Amino acid sequence: MSIMNDISWVPALRTPFLNEFFDAVTLVGYPLFLILFLAFGYFFFRSKSFYHAAILLIGAGLLNSLLKDIYQDPRPAAEFALDSRTGHSYGWPSGHAQIAVVLWGFLAYEIRQKWASLAAVIIIALICASRVYLGVHDVGDVLGGLVIGTACLVFYIWAINHQGLRALAAQIGDRGVLLALLAVHIIYLMFYPSHAHHEAPVWFVGTMLGWVAARSLMRQQEVDLPGPIAVQFLIASAATAIAFALMLATTRLPASMAINEQIAMPVNYAFGVIYVFLQSWGMPRLIGFFSRR
Residues 249-274 as b/e (b if ≥16 CB within 10 A, e otherwise) read: ebbeebeeeeeeeeeebebbbbbbbb
Q: For position 96, what pLDDT does the model report?
A: 97
Q: pTM for this structure?
A: 0.94
- Which phi-psi region, left, alpha or beta, contains residue 78 (left: φ > 0; alpha: ψ -120 to 50)? alpha
pLDDT, averaged per 10 consecutive residues of the chain (293 residues), comes to: 82 95 96 95 94 97 97 92 92 96 97 95 97 96 97 96 92 93 96 93 96 90 89 94 94 80 87 95 86 67
Q: Which residues make Cβ contacts (< 8 Å) with residue 231, sequence separation at least 6?
A: 225
Q: How many whole angstroms separate alpha carbon 159 and alpha carbon 21?
A: 37
Q: For position 51, what pLDDT does the model report?
A: 96
Q: For position 164, what pLDDT does the model report?
A: 94
Q: For position 245, what pLDDT does the model report?
A: 95
Q: For position 71, what pLDDT does the model report?
A: 94
Q: For position 109, what pLDDT does the model report?
A: 96
Q: For position 287, what pLDDT does the model report?
A: 84
SS3 224: coil
Q: How many whole angstroms separate alpha carbon 74 and alpha carbon 64?
A: 15
Q: How many whole angstroms separate alpha carbon 157 and alpha carbon 112?
A: 13
Residue range 113-123, pLDDT digits in tens: 999 999 999 99
How many CA atoms lie less than 13 Å away from 281 in the CB half-sphere?
A: 19
Q: For position 227, what pLDDT does the model report?
A: 87
Q: For position 5, what pLDDT does the model report?
A: 84
